[in-house]
Structure 1
Amino acid sequence: MGAGVSYSEASTPEGMRLYAIGDVHGAHALMAALHARIMEEILHDRPDDWRIVYLGDYVDRGPASRGVLEQLVRLTESDPRVVALAGNHDIGFLDFLENPSPFGLFAMNGGFETALSYGVEIDFTSEAATRRGHGELVARMPQRHKAFLAALPFSAGFGDFFFCHAGIRPGVPLEAQSPDDLTWIRRTFLAHDGLHPKLVVHGHTPVDAPEIRANRVNLDTGAWRTGRLTALRMEGREKRLIEVSA
């Protein structure tokens, strides 16, 4: 595979500033505060070009998934420089909307709170009750939220940086990574010490503090539980962490 790119060497495209934001999981107040802070920097500094990349997992667990999706729909529609990637929980929500199982990712991992943010209380204790709640949720959920989730890309790359939700399968070319790995991979990726073709910036696996390794950066600081949402700012070779807390 040849030499890869290390954290210290990774650089943005000439004249472009990048921001990446870790897993939101329904923590809408934190997301709104962090986005406002980033936009304030952009408007103050006026970089030639910029991107804000959200790393997926917008729903479940936290209290305000509806608010998160509503803001992301507005942001991405009004400015293509705001990029939202797919996380496994976002896919799990779509799966539930298509196939209301009481045993899927959504039902077992914080989907109750997501439904509640739309004003629907789902009883996941039986198939029949789950289907009833599912019908209510489908009726209450704006079609544009579902369309937004269905259109989320699985990765994005700018300069020496590769952005995805969970990580990549080492040794597989970036353009050949599977959606399943990009949204779910853990052990094989996290345990790999070798450099990748680009520096991988990801979330998915909650950590107490942002994890900066030679070959990857993990920005999932468990916002819904810790009250801390983390971003990485990249410009040229310069990198800086930004965090908002409840």
Structure 2
Amino acid sequence: MNYYIIGDVHGCYHTLKKILKHWHPSQEQLLFVGDYINKGQHSRQVVALIRKLQRQYPDTVCLKGNHEYEMVKYIESHTPLQEMKDNYRNTLKDYDLLHRYQDDVNWMKNLPLFYENKAIYVSHAGVNFLGVRKFKEDSWWSVLRFRGKLKRMKQLQVIGHTPTLTGRPEYTEKFHSLNIDSGAGNFTALSAVLISADGRLLRTFTEKVEQDDHR
């Protein structure tokens, strides 16, 4: 089975629905690289849709992004709203994770950090070239937040986290890596890639962020 992997969504619900139209559930396993919330207008709806897809298609893989990690930390630490970053405060105005949607907080907390097999290695920000502290969630070297030289693997490494300058997925031969964050968080575009069962890039899909997803 091939893999259909979606980049950072960042609350862009209407754009997510568009990019999902290219997915063929009977032929492709669905994966997400994380950062479902914040920045865009519809974090609650994005999480609800993705969790619904997980229930309908149990092989769907949802990875943790740094925005899920930070939101859980804010909630569990009872951080005052005025001490949160703007986009987290904005999200909580219409997504009551403190009380009404506590199960979503638990879901975010327990998301895995990576997915791998013989063909692909998928994580939010990529494995640093030294391979140190890669699963230490609060570290800048972790697969939640590292930006820099990646470890080259035999598998195709598929990542998000750092918006590409071109606004579409970019492959880097040096690291055998594919960055699919095309800047939905900046209201540029949301991308997905179709990867073959043996780790080859077959197609890319990019949708401009819908106006209704802007804050």
Fold shared per TM-score above 0.5: yes
1:96 aligns to 2:83 (yes or no): no
Aligned residue pairs total 199
How far 1:165 moved relative to its partner?
A: 0.1
More helix by share: 1
Quote the residue 2:99 is aligned against.
139
Quote the residue 2:37 is aligned against.
59
Structure 2: which 5+ runs fail to align?
211-215
Quote the residue 2:202 is aligned against.
239
The structure that has the greater radius of gyration is 1
1:107 aligns to 2:66 (yes or no): no
Cα separation, 2, equivalents of 1:238 and 1:61: 29
Which one is further off, 93-102 or 16-25? 93-102
Give, as a single letter, the amino acid of the residue that structure 2 aligns with 1:172. G
Equivalent position to 1:228, from 180, 189, 202: 189
Q: How does 1:11-26 map to 2 (within 5 A)?
A: 16-26=1-11
1:202 aligns to 2:159 (yes or no): yes
Deviations along 1:28-72, one digit per CA (max 9) or x if unpaired, are: 11112212331xxx25xx43xx31110001111111111111111
Does the CA contact (< 8 Å) of 1:34 and 1:229 recur in 2? yes
Please, what TM-score do these two structures have when normalized by structure 1?
Answer: 0.73
Fraction of identical pairs, as percent: 26
Equivalent position to 1:76, from 34, 54, 71: 54
Please, what TM-score do these two structures have when normalized by structure 2?
Answer: 0.83
How far 1:179 moved relative to its partner?
A: 4.1
How far 1:113 moved relative to its partner?
A: 2.4
Secondary structure, counterpart of 1:201 in structure 2: strand
Cα separation, 1, equivalents of 2:129 and 2:153: 7
Give, as a single letter, the amino acid of the residue that structure 1 aligns with 2:108. L
Give, as a single letter, the amino acid of the residue that structure 2 aligns with 1:84. C
How far 1:117 moved relative to its partner?
A: 2.8
- Pick closer, same or farther for the CA change 1:113–1:66 going to 2, 3 Å: same
Which one is further off, 108-117 or 86-95? 108-117
Secondary structure, counterpart of 1:167 in structure 2: coil
Quote the residue 2:213 is aligned against.
none
Does the CA contact (< 8 Å) of 2:128 and 2:148 recur in 1? no
How far 1:102 moved relative to its partner?
A: 5.1
Does the CA contact (< 8 Å) of 2:193 and 2:201 recur in 1? no
Structure 1: which 5+ runs fail to align?
1-15, 121-136
RMSD in angstroms over aligned alpha carbons? Answer: 2.4
How far 1:216 moved relative to its partner?
A: 0.6
